[in-house]
Structure 1
Amino acid sequence: MGCRSEWVTIWASLLWLAHVQVQATATNLDAIPIVNARAIAMALIAGRQPESIQDRPHAPDRPPMPIPSPAAISPPWTIRVEVPLVQLLISVRDRSGAAVTGLKVEDFQVFENNRLQPIVAFESEVTPLHLVVLVDCSGSTRHGRQALLNATRRLLEALSPGHHVALYALAESQLVMLHRTSLDRQLIAQALERLPEPGGGTPLYDAIVLTYAQESPWLKLHRSALIVLTDGVDDRIRGGIRPSETEPRLLVRLARQYAAVVYVLQINPFTLVPEPAWMTRARRALEKVAVATGGQLFRAESWDVIERLYPELNRELAALYTIAYRPSIPLGDGRWRQIRVRINRPGLIVRHRAGYYAW
């Protein structure tokens, strides 16, 4: 839900990504069987890390988030209290759709269940992000490996420098971990060369659940985004050979528990007009997941032209502010809490996740 208990320095913002240089080494492919995804989703929603995920060793390039020391910040004084925080990523645009930069913490007000909340940390739109990229290499993509490889390579090249990137793929009904978090684009490019051949069923929703589980601490607590490259077709929607256990409604509920914004880059697998009804359902299901987090679904007609979406994606990432606030009502009741953000400037459009369940 983007909540945590920690010692909070009032004068500190969450600028860990700007200061921590993470250098990863390329690893061998790590294929994770996609099983029990629905149970994993339910555990994550309730704030528990499933044992199957807990037992997996963490890569040495993934340190815990550091809290800046008072000496590093040099404020006139420091006040520390142990509090649970809720973190939000907020997209701000003007009416023409352009990203709005230069906003300050005093420009924002956050309301939870219509109660004004105290903002205790703020990150500007220039702070780098932790990006998790999931590439759909399942049999439904109907494209060869080279098309997927080229599209993903162009995406990584288009992303602004400074972002940390983790890379996963769905192939042969498994979640394949291609690369852990790294700033080194050369290492990431080398890992991309191990992108699997397309094949197998398409438990896409389950693959997204397992990606959340693998990246849970980072997607929940840090300034982050999940980018999914896919044709959007889960075998649950079409009746394929490997349907997801996770229904779209549960995936939406899971996504709302995380601070991460979801962006879906969907490639239309058909040229039929109008598109089949099941394809419309599949697209709308993923769009609901993205919108629930404050993100968007972008559509391209083929893998060959998907790079046309990348500038718009970069503009989205460049418009994200991060706010952490201390909820006035203690957590733990598991009830839905609605979030509303107001900006003290007229004519601006704000997007963010609508709320969370207070486990």
Structure 2
Amino acid sequence: MNAIARGHKIGLVTAIFAGFALLGANPALAQAPSGPIAPKPGQPIQRPPQGTPQKPPDQSIRVRVNLVNTPVVVRDARGELVLDLLENNFRVFDNGVQQKLEGFDMGGGPLSVVIVMETSSRIQALFPALRRTGVLFTETVMGESGDAAVIGYDDQVNHLQDFTTDHDAIEKSITNLNQGTSGTRLYDALSSAVKMLENRSESRRRVIITVAEAIDSGSEEKLGQVLRDAQLANITIYSVGLSTTAAEMRGEQKSGAPPPATPPGVFGRPPIPGTPQTPTTEEQRSGSVDVMALAVWVIQHVEASVKERPLEVATAATGGSYRSTVKDASIEKAIDEIGGELHAQYTLSYRPTGTEPSGYHEIRVRVVDRQALTVRSRPGYYLSSPGA
């Protein structure tokens, strides 16, 4: 073999060994497939664009604006629910900018409900009444398409029943409520309920119903943060207030207190049009408390402590309602009214446009082409700044 041929052969062998060395040094290259990657079933084959240079990846931060759902309750001058409105009767404004509705529904969406029951020894006298409410939750609130879970709380939060469509299971968990300690970790219980509902399908209406005193002690969570999370998850909170305790209502009149002008449960003047008449609404009329303004402030100042009327604040912030109870029968009536309202609720959905992506967003809902109607919806929601 002449020198030139031997030179070519040596060069070829050297190149082959160099190639193996390169593969050994780079496992990624050694394991690379020899042909095109087969697409997964149901996915189209990805092909590079022809005739255009490949652009570098976009490094800008994009804020994904989720769908905002706001439940709306409309009542006439007599306080009766209005059930015959159409989509074109509603106008929704986000921070003053009118929004285009992407969804409209009236009482038809399936419900996912977390029932939050106080089990503190503070309400010992009310346990027989509470244990009878199970069938009301299943028949008037859940309905045929709803599911529910049950949480009990005292000085700890207990998950008594996970989400189920089984009415018997829900009723049994409420019938078997056990009295606990004197603790009242209300905010922790609400936070737990919010986390449970965050994982439910967005196609379901998410609701929390609390049956409790308006008292919190020992919670690690702040009410403002709980309500901010509830707003972002499109959760509505309703409350059956046990803040007028059995001892107070059934015991002797406190010394030094003026005698009531009317018997318990009887009001001395007509109600505010479109508003259920309760001891709380009457107290608000006599005083200067603006619960809605307080609710907005709490959302904007999540680290602040809330000591006054936390259940009313929670319902106002999320578009629900608070019903104070004075007798055992009024607990059942309150749950029945909440169930009726949930199945007569309008749900309006939109994606915010034309407003700042972060900060507090005020929601305003108006009804046009109809007169003398009262509209109730949640006041807004809070979006944190990107990276906050």
What TM-score results when the alignment is normalised by the length of structure 2? 0.61
Please list, as runs of the form range in 1=range in 2, the aligned pairs for 1:266-281 lying within 5 A after superposition: 266-267=241-242, 268-269=244-245, 270-271=248-249
User: Does residue 1:261 correspond to 2:243, yes or no?
Assistant: no
Following TM superposition, by how much is the alpha carbon of 1:297 offset from its aligned partner in structure 2, in angstroms? 0.9
Query: 1:265 touches 1:298 (CA, 8 Å); kept in 2?
Result: yes
Aligned counterparts of 1:171 and 1:90: Cα–Cα separation in 2: 30
User: Does residue 1:109 correspond to 2:123, yes or no?
Assistant: no
2:183 equivalent in structure 1: 201
Aligned counterparts of 1:83 and 1:288: Cα–Cα separation in 2: 26
1:357 equivalent in structure 2: 382
SS at match of 1:84: coil
User: Does residue 1:287 correspond to 2:303, yes or no?
Assistant: no
Corresponding residue to 1:97 among 64, 74, 79: 79
1:316 equivalent in structure 2: 341
Structure (1 or 2) with the greater strand fraction: 1
Query: 2:212 touches 2:241 (CA, 8 Å); kept in 1?
Result: yes
Aligned counterparts of 1:337 and 1:205: Cα–Cα separation in 2: 24
Corresponding residue to 2:106 among 87, 104, 124: 124
Following TM superposition, by how much is the alpha carbon of 1:194 offset from its aligned partner in structure 2, in angstroms? 4.2
Following TM superposition, by how much is the alpha carbon of 1:85 offset from its aligned partner in structure 2, in angstroms? 1.5
Query: 1:136 touches 1:170 (CA, 8 Å); kept in 2?
Result: yes
Aligned counterparts of 1:120 and 1:311: Cα–Cα separation in 2: 31
Following TM superposition, by how much is the alpha carbon of 1:337 offset from its aligned partner in structure 2, in angstroms? 0.9
Query: How far does the alpha carbon of each residue in 1:240-292 deviate from its partner, in whole angstroms, 9 at most, with x for none?
Result: xxx223344444444433322211101221235669xxx99866221011011
Q: Alignment identity in percent? A: 27
Query: How far does the alpha carbon of each residue in 1:301-320 deviate from its partner, in whole angstroms, 9 at most, with x for none?
Result: 24454112233223321331
SS at match of 1:322: strand
1:343 equivalent in structure 2: 367
Query: 2:131 touches 2:177 (CA, 8 Å); kept in 1?
Result: yes
Aligned counterparts of 1:127 and 1:192: Cα–Cα separation in 2: 25
Following TM superposition, by how much is the alpha carbon of 1:225 offset from its aligned partner in structure 2, in angstroms? 1.7
Please list, as runs of the form range in 1=range in 2, the aligned pairs for 1:166-205 lying within 5 A after superposition: 166-205=148-187
1:12 equivalent in structure 2: none
Query: How far does the alpha carbon of each residue in 1:185-215 deviate from its partner, in whole angstroms, 9 at most, with x for none?
Result: 1232234344333324111112111111122
1:177–1:166 Cα change, 3 Å: farther
Paired residue type of 2:233: Y
1:305–1:92 Cα change, 3 Å: closer
Query: 1:92 touches 1:351 (CA, 8 Å); kept in 2?
Result: yes
Query: 1:109 touches 1:343 (CA, 8 Å); kept in 2?
Result: yes
Paired residue type of 1:260: I
Structure number with bigger Rg: 2
Please list, as runs of the form range in 1=range in 2, the aligned pairs for 1:11-26 lying within 5 A after superposition: none
1:144–1:219 Cα change, 3 Å: farther
Aligned counterparts of 1:138 and 1:94: Cα–Cα separation in 2: 39
Following TM superposition, by how much is the alpha carbon of 1:113 offset from its aligned partner in structure 2, in angstroms? 1.0
Aligned counterparts of 2:322 and 2:200: Cα–Cα separation in 1: 22
Aligned counterparts of 2:201 and 2:187: Cα–Cα separation in 1: 17
1:102–1:160 Cα change, 3 Å: farther
Aligned length: 267
Query: How far does the alpha carbon of each residue in 1:140-194 deviate from its partner, in whole angstroms, 9 at most, with x for none?
Result: 2233644431234444344362252323233353322222333331232234344
Aligned counterparts of 2:142 and 2:149: Cα–Cα separation in 1: 16
What TM-score results when the alignment is normalised by the length of structure 1? 0.65
1:141 equivalent in structure 2: 123
1:171–1:86 Cα change, 3 Å: closer
1:199–1:153 Cα change, 3 Å: farther
User: Does residue 1:327 correspond to 2:309, yes or no?
Assistant: no
Query: 1:133 touches 1:165 (CA, 8 Å); kept in 2?
Result: no
Please list, as runs of the form range in 1=range in 2, the aligned pairs for 1:294-309 lying within 5 A after superposition: 294-303=319-328, 305-309=330-334
1:266–1:152 Cα change, 3 Å: farther
The unaligned stretches of length 5 or more in structure 1 are: 1-81, 236-242
Paired residue type of 1:315: G
Paired residue type of 1:346: Q
Paired residue type of 2:190: I
Aligned counterparts of 1:283 and 1:137: Cα–Cα separation in 2: 21
Following TM superposition, by how much is the alpha carbon of 1:351 offset from its aligned partner in structure 2, in angstroms? 0.8
1:312–1:112 Cα change, 3 Å: same
2:216 equivalent in structure 1: 234
Query: 1:155 touches 1:310 (CA, 8 Å); kept in 2?
Result: yes
Following TM superposition, by how much is the alpha carbon of 1:109 offset from its aligned partner in structure 2, in angstroms? 1.3
Following TM superposition, by how much is the alpha carbon of 1:110 offset from its aligned partner in structure 2, in angstroms? 0.9
Paired residue type of 2:80: A
Corresponding residue to 1:244 among 219, 234, 248: 219
The unaligned stretches of length 5 or more in structure 2 are: 1-63, 259-279, 284-305
